[in-house]
Each structure stands twice: as C-alpha cells, then as structure tokens.
Amino acid sequence: MSILAGRILLESGAEANRIEDTMVRIAASYGFHEVQGYALNIYINFSLSPDHETRMVKINKSDTNLRKIFLVNQVSRQIAKNELSYEEAYALLKDIEKNTQRYKLWQKMLFAGMISMSFLYLVGGGWLELLPAMLAGALGFVVTEYMKSKQLTLFIPDMAGALVIGLVALSLNLWLESPNLWAIITAAVMPIVPGVLITTAIQDLFERHMLMFTAKFLEAIVTSFGIGAGITTAFLLIGG
C-alpha cells in the first residue's frame, strides 16, 4: 500500500520528500519502522526493512494532479491516526488512482483563457490585447493537452501548443494592430509553462534530492525549449 500511495503521488507531480515521507508514515502505522524508500522521476525503490526484499516500481506516466495529491495525503493522515483499516485504506487509494475525476477539456480551455487574461494584466496589456491573449492561450493549451494524452515525445506537445499560440497571436495582432504583441504572447504561453515542475524541482533541491531536482529541472528546460521553438516557428511562418 505504501508503494501504491507513492506511485499515485509521483504520477501526480508531487515532490520527492512528500512521496518518501508518505510511504514511511504509512508503513510505520502498520508496524514497519525500518523502511527504506527512494523516489526518482521514473521509479520508486522501496523496502519494508533490511530483512525484506526491495521492490522497484517503474513510473510510466507523469501529470500534474493536485487533487490526487491532496486525497492521498488525506488518506495517509487517516491511516496514521488509525481511523482506517488496511482494507479500507487500500480500497480508497485504488479508488483515488482510478476514479478521481479530472476537468473536461473544454473546462480546461476556459480556465486557460482566464489564466492568460490574468497574466495579461500583470504584464501590462490592455483591452485591445484581451481577445488575442485569451483565444491564443485557450487554443494553445487545448492542443498541448490533447497531444500529451497521446503520449508523444516530451517537448513535442508543448512546441505544438506554442506554435498555435504564436500563429493565433500574430494573426490577430496583424488585424488589431496592437503595439503590445509580446504582452499577448507572454500571457498566452503561461498556461503551458511548467510552473509546478519548476516549483517542485526547487523544493527537491532544498530537501537535497539532487537526482530528482536534476531530472525535473532538465525536463523543465526541455519543455521551455519546446515552447520557445514553437513561438519562433510561428514568427518564421508569418514573418512577424
């Protein structure tokens, strides 16, 4: 059960310290106090004690799902307080893994547009840039999410989403003749910027999880490269 909880957390984008601490606390609640556990971005290495066999679980997918992280933390606290039996806790974790509902794509599209609108205000955009920023941000995010669901290579979905953002922003800017093009592009790319990945990487650095920090930081760099390449390609295509 400790491995199941750790796997859900790792697949949902939790930092290494949270994953390892959760696995240790769950195991300790059932009488195992010499647990050895280690989490990296692609696997979990776990043993209940020096006398037990070490198990390794490979992680095949990674996504940001803060609701799953919250629910697993809630279950682990209930286990620590002896409020759940082993069977009840395991059933809850399996339910979290399989049945936790995510927002639908059209809802994410709406939220992405609202995020772009908010960042447009922060970067000094005005009413003229509002429609291009919201539309570009929403469409770019949908393309990125759809392509990620197809399990494509790491930076390809982000590059494609940024390309759509650039094409939409540049096309609408030619029509509206806004002087603040870069405010539109900056606000529109914010929904696909790997902010959670960078934040958890820094947390791992502070907790001295150097391998996890390095893996996440490199992933963030590659993703950022993809975003930059997509915007640059849009400029080359339209000639802005």
Mean pLDDT of all residues in 3-14: 88
> Would you state the structure tokens that stand for residue 21, as one six-digit string?
């601490």
User: Cα dist. 161→41, 137, 147, 192 in Å?
Assistant: 24, 9, 9, 8
56 vs 37: CA distance, rounded Å:
10
What's the pLDDT score for residue 114?
93
Mean pLDDT of all residues in 127-146: 90
Q: Which residue has the higher pLDDT, 16 or 53?
A: 16
Mean pLDDT in the chain? 86
8-12, 26-30, 99-103, 200-204: least confident range: 99-103
58 vs 51: CA distance, rounded Å:
22
List all residues 6 or more positions away from 34 whose beta carbon is below 8 Å from its beta carbon. 48, 49, 50
What's the pLDDT score for residue 81?
87
pLDDT band, very low/low/confident/very high, at 152 (cuts 50, 70, 90) = low
What's the pLDDT score for residue 72?
92
At 53-79, the pLDDT tens digits run: 788 888 877 777 888 999 999 999 998
At 173-230, the pLDDT tens digits run: 888 877 788 899 999 999 999 888 888 889 888 888 888 888 888 988 999 999 999 9
What percentage of the chain has pLDDT greater than the value 70?
98
What's the pLDDT score for residue 239?
62
> Would you state the structure tokens that stand for residue 131, as one six-digit string?
């429609």
224 vs 25: CA distance, rounded Å:
36
What's the pLDDT score for residue 240?
52
Helix pair 130-148, 181-189: axis angle to 10 deg: 30
Q: Which residue has the higher pLDDT, 48 or 137?
A: 137
C-beta atoms surrounding 101 within 10 Å: 6
